[in-house]
Amino acid sequence: MTRSNLFNSLALLLALGTAPLVQASPTDDAMLQLDAIMADESRRQASYAAGHERIRFCGYCHGEDGNSKRDYIPNLAAQHPQYLFEQFEKFGDGRREDHVMSTLAKALSLSERIDIAVYYSQQTANPRQGHAPALAAAGEPLYERHCSVCHGNEAQGVRDMPRLAGQPAQYIEMALKRFQQTDPQQNDSPMIGVARMLGDSDISAVAAYLQGR
Residue 162 found at the interface with ligand HEC (CB under 6 A): yes
Residue 206 found at the interface with ligand HEC (CB under 6 A): yes
CB of 13 to ligand HEC, least distance (A): 22
Nearest to 209 by CA among 125, 101, 133, 154: 133
Residue 200 found at the interface with ligand HEC (CB under 6 A): no
CA atoms of 155 and 162, how far apart (whole Å): 8
Nearest to 162 by CA among 111, 96, 106: 96
Residue 98 found at the interface with ligand HEC (CB under 6 A): yes
- Mention every residue, 6+ apart, whose C-beta is less than 8 A from residue 100: 61
Residue 62 found at the interface with ligand HEC (CB under 6 A): yes
Give the torsion sign (CA, 47, 162, 71, 175).
positive
Pick one of 29, 190, 196, 201: the residue that binds ligand HEC (CB under 6 A).
190
Per CB under 6 A, residues contacting ligand HEC are 55, 57-58, 60-62, 72-74, 76, 84, 87, 96, 98, 100-101, 104, 116, 146-147, 149-151, 160-162, 164, 172, 174-176, 189-191, 194, 198, 206
